[in-house]
Amino acid sequence: MNSIASLQIGERGIISEECLDIIPLKLLEMGCLPGIEVELLQIAPFKDPLYICVNGSHLAIRKKTASKIVITKI
């Protein structure tokens, strides 16, 4: 089970379809959808939050949220 939180900087993954109900609505609305590619751009000092690029949106999310979003690494 890989999640966004298990990506290394520069790695990418596809958000899995089973995540639909887990992803907070706000994140969905910002473009973080199942089947979409996520790239981890940067990790803040102290390992949290994460800086991701998804669907053209550049977002910072906390590790807790990121670890719930299952992905398949590319």
Partner 1 sequence: MSKRIKVALIGNPNTGKTSLFNQLTGLHQKVGNYPGVTVDKKQGTCKISENSTAIITDLPGTYSINPTSIDESIVLKSLLNSNEDEKPDVIVIVADIENLKRNLLLFSQIQDLEIPIILALNMADQMERKGISIDIKNLEKQLNTKIVLISARKNKGIDTLKEAIENYNSLKIHSDFKELSHKIDTTYFDELAKVSTRFLAYELWMMLTKQHTSLLSSEEKEQLKSFGSDVSTQKKYQHKETIFRYQKINSILKETYTIDASKATDLRAKLDAVFTHKIFGYLIFFGLLLLIFQSVFDWASAPMDFIDGLFASISEFTKSNLPAGMFTDLLSEGIIPGIGGVIIFIPQIAILFLFIAILEETGYISRVVFLMDKIMRRFGMSGKSIIPLISGTACAIPAIMATRTISSWKERLITILVTPFTTCSARLPVYAILIALIIPDKKLFGFIGLQGLTLLALYGLGFGSAILGAYILHKTLKIKSSSFFVMEMPNYKLPSVKNVFLDVLEKTKAFVFGAGKIILAISIVLWFLASNGASDFKNAEKNVTQNIANQKLSSTELSQKIASQKLENSYIGIAGKAIEPIVKPLGYDWKIGVGLIASFAAREVFIGTLATIYSVENNDDDISTIKQKMASEINNETGEKRFNFATGISLLLFYAFAMQCMATLAIVKRETKSWKWPIIQLVGMGSLAYLTAFLAYQILR
**Binding residues for partner 1, per CB under 8 A?**
20-21, 23-31, 33-34, 41-42, 44-49, 51, 55-62, 64-65
Query: What's the min distance (Å) between Cβ of 19 and partner 1?
Result: 10
Burial 6-18 (b: 16+ CB within 10 A, else e): ebeeeeebebbee
Query: What's the min distance (Å) between Cβ of 32 and partner 1?
Result: 9
Query: What's the min distance (Å) between Cβ of 54 and partner 1?
Result: 10
Nearer to partner 1, 9 or 73 (CB): 9
